[in-house]
Amino acid sequence: MNQAERIQQAVLRSMHSRDLYTERQVNAMLKVLRKSDTYIKAELVHIGDSKVLKKGLEVRKEQLKGIQNQIDGIVRDLKNEQTLMMKTAVKESFQNGITGGIREFSELDFPYYNALSHEDRVRMAGQVMSLTDRSALDFLVNYDLQLLGNVTRELADGIKQQIAVGIVTGESIAKIGEKIGGVITDPEAFRKAGKTVFRTAQNRVEVITRTETLRAHGQGRRKFYDTVGVRMVVWVTAGDERTCSQCGPLEGQEFPIDQIPPFPHPQCRCSFFAARAKVCRAGVPVH
């Protein structure tokens, strides 16, 4: 295998472990979303049992307030759990970006890196992480929490609206439940499912989690490259049939490290690698 092929293999391995990490985060996010789904369904059963739908309009409106408070409580818990998970995922992904960059240089026998033990690499990643401007990482976390906050707010509003319309118009619980929907774990069934409140939220949670863990990973990688003096990078796509028309043409193109095209767009799976591989040991150039 020539050096270019070895580089591509090393980067694709990193992208694969990055994507495995991302899918674990997506599944964890969906697990807590599914928990809320279960609580909402229990709330609908409770509404059904309470016969509130059979009562007069004023009574229905009165009881609606209590129901909406319940929904707000369920979605608030969801938001708190997802907030903690996203904070952890962004920081871990950023760190994985650093560690992956170091491991690739070792795998490719770059001088100095080829002599690093696993412990050395972990220590070096910690050094680069300690050089990281916390406010930049906090900015990324806050941006992601805002995105997630919009999703949970719209989820709560969507559920409350369906219940309110249903209760005021006397719709059946089954009908209300249908419009609210639920979390769908089977990708094929999810793709085919019609629009419901939960399907919209699930789709956005998946896209945000995938895109933002990738963004954090890319920023960690960039931070490592900046620290060790990489000036040029090469764009690397996933190189498969799902590579989009925006990213495809970027494959193999070189960019100054401070002029990398906007990365990532939603659902992007690309990465980038040090070009011409003249890299520096933290602060000391290696030729």
180 or 238, CB closer to Zn ion?
238
Q: Which is nearer to Zn ion, 148 or 236 (CB)?
A: 236
Looking at the Cβ atoms of 187 and 262, the one nearer to Zn ion is 262
52: Cβ contacts below 8 Å, ≥ 6 apart: 59, 60, 63, 67, 167
185 is an interface residue for Zn ion by CB under 5 A: no
CB neighbour list of residue 96: distance below 8 Å, 6 or more residues apart:
17, 18, 21, 217, 220
Number of C-beta neighbours around residue 13 at 10 A: 14
Q: How far is the CB of 264 from Zn ion (least distance, A)?
A: 6
Among 270, 274, 275, 279, binds Zn ion (CB under 5 A): 270
Residue 57 binds Zn ion, judged by CB under 5 A: no
Helix, strand, coil percentages for the chain (3-state, nearest 5): 70, 5, 25
Question: Does 131 participate in binding Zn ion (rule CB under 5 A)?
Answer: no
| List 78, 230, 233, 268, residue binding Zn ion (CB under 5 A) | 268
- By CB under 5 A, the count of residues binding Zn ion is 5
Cα–Cα distances in angstroms (integers) from residue 257 to residues 130, 182, 231, in the given order: 21, 43, 5
Q: Check residue 246 for interaction with Zn ion (CB under 5 A).
A: yes
* Sign of the four-CA dihedral 178, 182, 184, 190: positive
Q: Contact at 8 Å (CB) between 43 and 71?
A: yes
Least distance (Å) between residue 131 CB and Zn ion: 27
Q: Which of 3, 244, 254, 285 binds Zn ion (CB under 5 A)?
A: 244
As given in the structure block, the two tokens for residue 172 are 């059946």
Residue 247 in contact with Zn ion, rule: CB under 5 A: yes
Question: Per CB under 5 A, does 236 bind Zn ion?
Answer: no
d(CA 28, CA 190): 17
Say whether residue 253 binds Zn ion (CB under 5 A): no
Closer of 109 and 254 to Zn ion (Cβ) = 254
Binding residues for Zn ion, rule: CB under 5 A, are: 244, 246-247, 268, 270
